[in-house]
Amino acid sequence: MALIVQKYGGSSVADPERIRNVARRVATTASGEGRGSGHQMVVVVSAMGKTTDGLVELAHRIAPSPEPREMDMLLATGEQVTIALLAMALHALGFKARSFTGPQVGMVTDRAHTKARITTIRGERVRRALDEGEIAVVAGFQGLSDEDEVTTLGRGGSDLTAVALAAALRADVCEIYTDVDGVYTADPNIVPDARKLARVAYDEMLEMASLGAKVLQARSVEFAKKYAVPIHVRSTFKPEGGTLVTTEERSMEAAVVTGITHDPSQAKISILRVPDRPGIAARVFGAVAERSIVVDMIVQNISRDGYTDISFTVPRGDHARAATALDEIAREVGALGIVHDERVAKVSIVGVGMRSHSGVAARMFATLSKEAINIQMISTSEIAVSCVIEDKYAELAVRALHDAFELAREPVRSA
């Protein structure tokens, strides 16, 4: 008998019919999926469909900038509705089940309302429920501060609740149910022969999460990595297995590159001929950060004659605001000026295997070159290489790289 944590997102529990569907799915696992004995189960759920958006809108009809503490009090009701309904649906199927709010499961957080961080998990109540043969149905996204205030965990909070509970309870696996059925070697909408990965390493998933594959938030993957919680990403609507995100293992090294990711909606800004003095980069990026604009790639080359160029990418929607801010800074620091381009995309290759293989980056550049795609910026990490290119070539680049690294083919596993 295993201990399994399952998490279902808002679209999986959007209405009573879907909640009953999730209940049947949970029941199947709890009773052993027809093979062998059943499992102990913890089920984490989000608010139904667009409930959270609706509550946020309601708050803004009351006050232009609601206090974060009261926002958490308000938003926490969304998941509480779902847990009660899912427990009812499980009872109706003849299963013992009990719902728990975030405070009730002892999900202790810091006091940073609307974006709290988990500090401790006191899982006694859930453990007791499991010992009594009950399915524990837990509200995702919410916790309790050391001052007994309701808190919420921010974006991706329900995934995090599931991973954290799986860690605290030493669950065998944390299954994250979404509307995609796993992690692919590339976006299947662009690369028809993209292959679903049976496993990826935490670090690869982290690169993929931050590089634009929207399956899991980096925050949950980091937590899972830290506590070695295996995450199984799979579809709510299909029975077959998805992708296991887990610790790196020898056989993974067979593939040099695991997947190709791309982010088609970036913009590039360069400040030209910046005096190469300490503190300049801080001023440049300070100005951007002040406007709450998230900077992705940053490239600065060596200086010549005491001047250098600094380039970086931002989400395309923030491009105009960032350019305005930078124009000012450029004048202040005595740079030549700025140039910007809002029609760029980032394409990356990711794989733990490239740590021990040389020539991977070179092969990427050669592939793009063969397609006559100009590389505008390059940035690398230990297990990824990213190139900024003109956005109209993004899909072509992904397909060419997918072919070049032979990702459609199952890699030969060395034992």
- Provide, rounded to whole angstroms, the least separation between the CB of residue 66 and a second copy: 4
Enter the tokens of residue 40: 């102990």
Give the residue with the Cβ less far from a second copy, 7 or 20.
20
Give the residue with the Cβ less far from a second copy, 73 or 287.
73
Give the residue with the Cβ less far from a second copy, 112 or 293.
112
Nearest CA to 100 out of 143, 138, 145, 152 is that of 138
Give the Å distances, CA to CA, from 111 to 116, 167, 276. 6, 22, 41
Tokens 């002892």 sit on residue: 106
- Provide, rounded to whole angstroms, the least separation between the CB of residue 73 and a second copy: 4
- Provide, rounded to whole angstroms, the least separation between the CB of residue 179 and a second copy: 22
Distance, CA of 362 to CA of 366 (rounded, Å): 6
Give the residue with the Cβ less far from a second copy, 56 or 173.
56
Give the residue with the Cβ less far from a second copy, 109 or 266.
109
Enter the tokens of residue 106: 């002892």
Give the residue with the Cβ less far from a second copy, 31 or 80.
80
Give the number of other CB atoms < 10 A from CB of residue 2: 13
Residues 123/165, Cβ–Cβ less than 8 Å: yes
Q: What is the largest CA-CA distance in the chain?
A: 77
- Provide, rounded to whole angstroms, the least separation between the CB of residue 87 and a second copy: 5
Nearest CA to 157 out of 111, 120, 206, 118 is that of 118
Interface positions with a second copy (CB under 8 A): 16, 19-20, 55, 58-59, 61-64, 66-67, 69-71, 73-74, 76-77, 80-81, 83-85, 87-89, 91-92, 98-99, 101, 104, 125, 148, 150
- Provide, rounded to whole angstroms, the least separation between the CB of residue 123 and a second copy: 14
Give the residue with the Cβ less far from a second copy, 28 or 77.
77
Distance, CA of 153 to CA of 216 (rounded, Å): 15
Give the residue with the Cβ less far from a second copy, 69 or 111.
69
- Provide, rounded to whole angstroms, the least separation between the CB of residue 75 and a second copy: 8
- Provide, rounded to whole angstroms, the least separation between the CB of residue 20 and a second copy: 7
- Provide, rounded to whole angstroms, the least separation between the CB of residue 148 and a second copy: 7
